[in-house]
Amino acid sequence: MNTFELTILGCSSATPTASRHPTAQLLNIAERFILIDCGEGTQIQLRRYKIKFQRIDHILISHLHGDHYLGLMGLLQSMHLLGREKELHLYCPQELKEIIDLQNKSSQTVLNYPLVYHFTNVQQSELIFEDDKLSIETIVLNHRIPCTGFLFREKLGDRKILMDQLNRYEVSVAEIHKLKKGLNAFNNNGEEVENALLTADPDALRSYAYCSDTAYKEAIVEQIKEVTLLYHEATFLSNMLDRAKATFHSTAAQAATIALKANVQQLIIGHFSARYSDLSQHLEEAIPIFKNTLLASEGEKISI
């Protein structure tokens, strides 16, 4: 089974605290390292958790509030100073290019590596990346400024070879390539043997939905239905529902309600307001609605 692992680098909203950094996550899918948002101090967190900068080839920025991108310029500069030459893909609002270009111009910096931009569409969900292992699409959220979440889906893998069955039916290992692709094989006597007798189904597909800053929005439920893991912001508790509405954020109860309606397997809540030092109340609010809820915790690695 390929790696599918999430590392929480930051889980605070708006301002950092002594124990929580602004939003950033690192997702490893089949050795494809993807940075999701890049709040202040992200490169320090990458070092703290021993994640090599240069393994990151894709950076996704949900929106242009500072707690989601102010760490980006420092990270790009460090990659440059450390001798990066391979291209880096940046998926982001179009205005971010202006910000990066201005800072590079002002510091007379020319990056050693190509920075390839992919501008996100905040009007509708779009496929922004796809290869043989993975697809990524945007999720249109409801925030004070344009904002997208991201949905990561694993691609169906090869069928699993049952070696004992190959021996039983006298099928050569030379037929394995065809069998992995679902085709029938021929045994040593030239007789066709059905694929189902020689293989097992591939591993179940896994998925991860990242919903950063957003007011409660049921319209996303259909898109994220039955994902393996959902990250949904839970900036406030329900006693601050009016504040959540005014700032286009969600409560822990609202995040849990989205998870319940989408029938996801597991929910992780984060993006906590700095006003909360004790996060246990977020769990107490969410779990009665959606039992399988976790708190985002910096440095935690979650295998999906």
Is 67 an active-site residue?
Answer: yes
CA 257, distance to chain mean position in Å, is 21
Q: Which of 37, 57, 67, 164 is catalytic?
A: 67
Alpha-carbon gap, residue 216 to 291, rounded angstroms: 19
- State phi, psi for 189 to the nearest 5 degrees: -95, 5
Residue 123 has phi, psi (to 5 degrees) of -90, -30
Distance CA 238, CA 244 (A): 8
Burial (CB count within 10 angstroms: exposed 0-12, middle 13-18, buried 19+), residue 191: exposed
**From CA 129, how far away is CA 136, in angstroms rounded?**
5
Q: How far is CA 116 from CA 90, 92, 97, 111, 138, in A?
A: 6, 11, 10, 12, 18
The three-state secondary structure class of 36 is strand
| Radius of gyration of the chain from its Cα atoms, rounded to whole angstroms | 22
Query: How many C-beta atoms surround the C-beta of residue 195 within 10 A?
Result: 17
CA 12 to chain centre: 17
Q: Which residues are catalytic?
A: 67
